Amino acid sequence: MNDPGLQAKHIIRFMDASLWKAMDESENVRLHFHVANHDTKCVLQGFFTIYGNLFLRLAAEENNFLDKPMVYPSFGKSAWSWSNSKGGNTDESESESVRDFYNAWMSFSTAKDFAWRDLWNPSEAPDRRVRRYACTCLKLRNPCLTTSGKG
């Protein structure tokens, strides 16, 4: 698979607390304001919308690399409790809890192979001799590059 999907350089943007403007599930709150002789328009989303979408995308990308797709718990909603209360939730969609989410993602390890970080692809070699040489070099160099891709 050649598509690297979300990488560290993309995910780091989500570490900015100014990214979200409310601790709710609000979507596409459009603001229009005038600052220093400039009209500005922006679209804001709530914390649970932004990070819920992020974790949905991460889970989908991981499942692309798994033989048997895994079901990851939802990021949740602002009204979810820390742990399931027995019989307290009547809504099916709220049968999960924040604890379920953290239990799944705290021990997360990617299934991605980071093949896009490889310098050479032996299958593109013109003949067997070059392919064998490339495989020898790959064993020495590519493991370092693919491992560094995880960070």
Q: Cβ neighbours of residue 138 under 8 Å, at least 6 residues apart? A: 118, 119, 120, 122
What pTM was estimated for this model as a whole? 0.64
Rounded to whole angstroms, the Cα distance separating 78 from 95 reads 14
pLDDT digit string (tens) for 27-50? 765 544 544 555 555 566 889 888
- 3-class secondary-structure state, position 30: strand
Tell which wins on pLDDT, 1 or 43: 43
Number of Cβ within 10 Å of residue 92's Cβ equals: 7
The encoded tokens of residue 60 equal 């989908």
- With beta carbons less than 8 A apart as the criterion, state whether 72 and 55 touch: yes
- 3-class secondary-structure state, position 145: helix
- Mean pLDDT is lowest, of 1-5, 98-102, 120-124, 143-147, for 143-147
The encoded tokens of residue 7 equal 């990488």
Rounded to whole angstroms, the Cα distance separating 76 from 82 reads 10
pLDDT digit string (tens) for 76-115? 888 887 666 554 444 544 556 788 888 889 988 888 877 7
